[in-house]
Amino acid sequence: MRLNSFSFRVRYGETDQMGVVYHGNYAQYLELGRIEWLRALGVSYRGMEENGIMLPVISLQIDYKKSALYDDLITVETYIKKQPMVKIEFDYKIYNEAKELLATANTVLAFMDKQTNRPIKCPEHILDKLDF
């Protein structure tokens, strides 16, 4: 599985006084996309952490195209283009209910050993579930 879609409604508290989503909330939307992408793969962040694997973000890039608004039903498409190694790179497209592109984004995360705080290779059980 390389692509997963996840939809939710924008809450009032995520917007400014004009009803526009505050730009910093997009990082949280991307995190939700990653969590749901992993969950659809049969992997959980909690499970990885319990097994001593951390996955910190080491790069974040967002291009804003159009504003998301209060109560919009937005969809975060999360996908990967290449097999993860020590790093895993996610690309995203965020759409509103009218299928208008709101933003594109990219994050890079590193697999880290929780005990040593050193980079490690992507776990085999994740690689086994990907179709590369």
- pTM to 2 decimals? 0.92
pLDDT tens-place string over residues 68-100: 999 999 999 999 989 999 999 999 999 999 999
Contacts of 95 (CB under 8 A, 6+ apart): 74, 75, 77, 101, 102
pLDDT value, residue 1: 60
pLDDT value, residue 90: 97
* Catalytic residue status for 131: no
Contacts of 26 (CB under 8 A, 6+ apart): 62, 64, 94, 103, 105
pLDDT value, residue 121: 96
Strand partners, 62: 105
Average confidence (pLDDT) over 23-34 = 96
pLDDT value, residue 131: 76
pLDDT tens-place string over residues 65-76: 999 999 999 999
Of 16, 63, 71, 113, which one is the catalytic site residue?
16
